[in-house]
Amino acid sequence: MTPAPKSRPGLRLCAIAGLVGLVAYCDFPLQWVIGSQLSPLRAYISELSVAGQPASLAFRISDIAAGIGLAVLASVFATWRPTSGTRTGRVALTAAAVASIVDGASPMTCAPSIDQQCWTADHAGLSTQLTQLHTISGLFGFSAVLIAIVSYSVALMHRPSTRCFGAAGLTVATAAAALGGIEVGMILTAAGWTGLVERVQVCLISAWLASLAICVLRSP
């Protein structure tokens, strides 16, 4: 687990490092810069890391950087508001960080949105999908980050000055969970637009965590 920063300048520096990690966590817009042919509506974000895709190595490194950033933020938030809720959030966000690092180290082996054989395997039974390390780490990481957001939000709800922010976090967690359910339903029913749903989900999570990091930076 990332050591907690003790000084105020150290806390600010770690919060900035965490923001950089969140930029890496939400790196999918780069696909337009590198000229990726993957559809942002149908392709998973993880398909950008598949071997043979443009700048696939950069996206894998970005996943690892995102994991490091999330681990730093976990320490920052627990130090900023040391409560049982933020300590639970720290454990959960650190778990999500580990999952992101695993995603970078063990990317998808093929791109189902453009590879028919890969698409067939990806839309097989749920038990078959859960034998893939990338799928397991993705589900684990998503569940962990939702638990982290809920834990932080509940802790923030206990302070009048951050109550609205905590309520917003619970709303974000609920929306992200609903989108996750929609995404799973689309995968199991072979429906399209899973890429769009995933991108909206990642943006919601990143935006709230970034807002919390900025709140740390601005707090007296």
Q: Residue 1 falls within a domain, yes or no?
A: no
Q: Residue 118 falls within a domain, yes or no?
A: yes
Query: Does the predicted TM-score (pTM) go above 0.85?
Result: yes
Confidence band of 123 (pLDDT split at 50, 70, 90): low
Q: Residue 83 falls within a domain, yes or no?
A: yes
Section 131-153 average pLDDT: 89
d(CA 12, CA 6): 11
d(CA 181, CA 175): 10
Residue of 165 and 126 predicted with greater confidence: 165
| Cα dist from 174 to 7, 115, 164, 177, whole Å | 34, 33, 15, 5
Q: Residue 126 falls within a domain, yes or no?
A: yes
Digit-coded pLDDT (tens) for 34-87:
989 999 999 999 999 999 999 999 999 999 999 999 999 999 998 888 888 899
Digit-coded pLDDT (tens) for 205-215:
999 999 999 98
Q: Residue 115 falls within a domain, yes or no?
A: yes
Q: Residue 3 falls within a domain, yes or no?
A: no
Return the pLDDT at 162: 86
Mean pLDDT of the chain: 88
> What residue numbers bound the domain in which 213 lies?
8-218
Q: Residue 33 falls within a domain, yes or no?
A: yes
The number of domains in the chain is 1
Minimal CA–CA distance to 73: which of 139, 2, 25? 2
d(CA 6, CA 178): 37
Q: Residue 2 falls within a domain, yes or no?
A: no
Confidence band of 12 (pLDDT split at 50, 70, 90): confident
